[in-house]
Amino acid sequence: MEEEKRTEAAADAAEEAPQLQPPTDGIAVDAASEAAENAAPTESVRESVTTEETTSLQEKDPSVTAWDFGGKTASETKTVRPLHFFAVFGVAFAICMVLLICAVLWGDGKFEIIRNVLQERIIYVRQDDGSSGLLTPNEAADAAKKYAVSISVTTAKGNGIGSGFVYSADGYIITNYHVIEDAEAVQVILPDGKAQDATVRGYNEAADVAVLKIAATDLVPATLGSSAELLVGDAVVAIGTPAKLDYAGTATFGTVSATRRLLALANESGSVTKKMTVIQTDTQVNPGNSGGPLVDMYGRVVGVVVMKITDFSGTAFEGIGFALPIDGVKVIVDEIIASGSFNGRNPIAEGRSLLGVTGHGGIKGLWYANEADANGSMASSETQQPGYHYMAANGVYVMGINGGNAMGKIVVGDIVLAVDGLRVSTTPELIAAVNRHYAGETVTLTVLRAGQETDVEILLYEEALS
């Protein structure tokens, strides 16, 4: 029995021996045997390794080579990161986004919220299928030079120069009336430099249009456009003969500044004599350009150069030129060619617009004579005089009613203070304000009557052209 106990104790000791500090040679033996086992695992051992075990090994050692089921090494080594890394990254990203949103909503205003604002715009569009003949500025000028001419005139005071253009192949030439006014002889210098004597077929002084005739049958006539189709900003070129014949065919370029500018033209004394509806352009024009063509970028005549503003009240101006609209010119020219004169409703010029009253300008606080003196002036006094009336305000004192729509609306003694809100204090200012409107339009006059301001509407009528 005792022998059996000793035998069991020895067996127990043998089983517990690997847990104790073994001798060195025992370690070598065990390590060698373990290496031999690992070096040559059986096929059944290889196949018994589960996917879960492989993943566990890779998590412990990122350098473990991944294998596919065929037993071949994968084309690249994959490193598997712990899932908690992505969780931490996601939380950090979410926190940053929350802080950014808070900064936008409750920040110091460095972030701007941009809103789309709808605005209405008018866009002018011309249809162009590519076959309309739109030219470059150089091409438009070259086209115009084929029908632009120079006009040489002889008067009792000397010689003058102007411009014009060929209207028809059989010798009709268009220019301004003021170019050939009082001319004793007229010559047309053609684009090839040849001069031909011309006769005046007819003219319309009010519209400043004249028609000449030369003996020719093979001229290149101008192509006419339509002034009604012009838009502000359209490119144009003026062809003319500024200063002298040496500069014939001069081309200057610019744009349309206004398509229907109403001009009130005055005589030497400053009184308005007529109104004209013209094209305004910033194209440079000079003395000698009068009567020449204003051409669009299709090589078509859209206007006839007529005048420019160089000085107003002592102030010099540049880039304010005017041309007669070709639509109106054509109406006048065709009738002159047919009959020698124009007697219809003038499409360019009209008489003054009238209120139907007479009066004088005055200064508040002064007394004025009831009638003008022999020179047409109104005597004034600082004190009351017999036959004088008092000016209770700066304006135009109404002295008489001539007729028209003012009858029954304006009375003698009214002082006109403003036209459509624009203050006036002299007769020329009143006439100019009224003539910014066409006859047939209604204006609102502000008048002082019996110490009270009141507004009255007056329908303007036209003075007949002389």
pLDDT tens digit sequence for 304-330 = 999 998 776 667 788 999 999 999 999
Shared domain check, 270 and 183 = yes
Helices (H), 107-257: 137-145, 177-180
394 part of a folded domain = yes
Exactly one of 142, 168, 170, 178 is catalytic; which is it?
A: 178
What pLDDT shows up at residue 373? 86
Domain end, chosen from 346, 367, 398, is at 346
Q: What is the dihedral of CA 260, 225, 305, 318, to 10 degrees?
A: 60
User: Could you give the number of structural domains in the chain?
Assistant: 3
Shared domain check, 223 and 79 = no
129 part of a folded domain = no
Alpha-carbon gap, residue 261 to 322, rounded angstroms: 9
What pLDDT shows up at residue 124? 55
314 part of a folded domain = yes
Q: Catalytic annotation on 208? A: yes
Q: What is the CATH number of the domain that holds 184?
A: 2.40.10.120
Full DSSP string of 64-131: PPPB-TTSPBPSS---PPPHHHHHHHHHHHHHHHHHHHHHHHHSSS-S------------------S-
6 part of a folded domain = no
Rg (CA), the chain: 50
**Is the distance from CB of 413 to CB of 401 less than 8 angstroms?**
no
Domain end, chosen from 300, 322, 346, is at 346
Please name the amino acid found at residue 235. A
Full domain range(s) for residue 70? 22-119
Whole-prediction pTM: 0.69
Q: What is the CATH number of the domain that holds 446?
A: 2.30.42.10
Shared domain check, 336 and 358 = no
Alpha-carbon gap, residue 84 to 79, rounded angstroms: 15
What pLDDT shows up at residue 84? 54
What pLDDT shows up at residue 9? 46
pLDDT tens digit sequence for 378-419 = 999 999 999 999 999 999 999 999 877 888 899 999 999 999
12 part of a folded domain = no
Domain end, chosen from 324, 346, 368, is at 346
Mean pLDDT of 330-350: 96
Lowest-pLDDT range of 129-138, 244-253, 340-349, 411-420: 129-138
Q: Which residues pair with 294 in a beta bridge?
A: 238, 303
Share above pLDDT 90 across residues of the chain, in percent, rounded to a whole number: 61
196 part of a folded domain = yes
- What are 34's two structure tokens? 């373990």
Shared domain check, 187 and 335 = yes
Q: 4 Cβ partners below 8 Å, 6+ apart?
A: none
Q: Catalytic annotation on 75? A: no
Shared domain check, 404 and 386 = yes
Exactly one of 150, 163, 227, 290 is catalytic; which is it?
A: 290
Shared domain check, 253 and 323 = yes
Please name the amino acid found at residue 215. A
Shared domain check, 96 and 144 = no
Mean pLDDT of 193-204: 97
Shared domain check, 175 and 60 = no
Shared domain check, 156 and 258 = yes
Q: Catalytic annotation on 178? A: yes
Shared domain check, 440 and 412 = yes
Among candidate residues 295, 323, 309, the one with its CA nearest the CA of residue 175: 323
Alpha-carbon gap, residue 300 to 211, rounded angstroms: 19
Whether the per-residue pLDDT at 33 is higher than 80: the answer is no
Shared domain check, 176 and 286 = yes
Helix (H, G, I), strand (E, B) or coil at 59: helix
- Reported as a pLDDT band with limits 50, 70 and 90, residue 47 is very low
Alpha-carbon gap, residue 396 to 392, rounded angstroms: 11
Give the other-Cβ count within 10 Å of 419's Cβ. Answer: 23
What pLDDT shows up at residue 175? 98
pLDDT tens digit sequence for 89-139 = 666 666 766 665 555 455 444 444 444 445 555 555 555 545 568 999 999
Q: Look at 375 and 250; give whichever has higher pLDDT.
A: 250
Among candidate residues 147, 249, 154, 167, the one with its CA nearest the CA of residue 213: 167
11 part of a folded domain = no
- What are 437's two structure tokens? 């409107």
Exactly one of 163, 208, 296, 327 is catalytic; which is it?
A: 208
Shared domain check, 218 and 191 = yes
74 part of a folded domain = yes
